[in-house]
Amino acid sequence: MRLRNVKNKEDIMNNSNYLVKNYYDFKGNWKELFGNDNPIYIEIGMGKGKFIIENAKMYPDINFIGIEKYDSVIAKGLQKIPDGLNNLFMIRADALDIDEIFFREIDRVYLNFSDPWPKNRHHLRRLSSKIFLDKYENIFKNVEEIFMRTDNRDLYIYSLVSFSENGYKLKKISFDLHHDDMPLITTEYEDKFSKDGLPIYYVECIKDSVQNSK
């Protein structure tokens, strides 16, 4: 994917109240930033932000955090946030650092149209690989929930196997989301793929928290 540069991205990021720059300082205490004890849902690789912004608007009693590693992309997301939305923050970070940012406080993880890393030697870079699932173990508060959607069938099958092998129960599975009567807030990618007639693969999986099983 070729990223278009946003010329004033630094100004957008520096002047936004929704971008958390010192995110390491809130590890284990994100509820203090939000000012409440509401559940926290995160989207890893939020793209331009449509999905997480629309969710934050629809569900005011849930706190949302969007994570994106590219400046230009997150700048576009910041521009879309309406004034007065107090249950959403964004951070510019790499997914590899996820367990350095959160600790036992996340209720749900969204993985939407993640990089499929199609080459065999790159499979462990997938956000549904064991490397990342082990990291997620440290960030979930109680029950672990991962909701994933993708247009890549190989990534989808790989992820179903990975989730199952790592103790997750597959709650909902769809090989063609938009023909299974499952109304959901969409992403920018999703709108494009669906318009082109491509199937969207979807799974909701759940796992009892490690800390609760000890």
Q: 97, 99, 115, 180: which one is catalytic?
A: 115
Q: 115 catalytic, yes or no?
A: yes
Structure tokens at 57: 């608007």
* Per-residue tokens: 128: 């549904």
The DSSP element (H or E) to which 30 belongs, if any, is helix 30-34
Q: Are 81 and 58 in contact (CB under 8 A)?
A: no
Measured CA to CA, the distance from residue 6 to residue 148 in angstroms comes to 28
What does the block give as tokens for 179? 């023909």
Burial (0-12, 13-18, 19+ Cβ within 10 Å), 57: middle
- Could you list the active site residues? 115
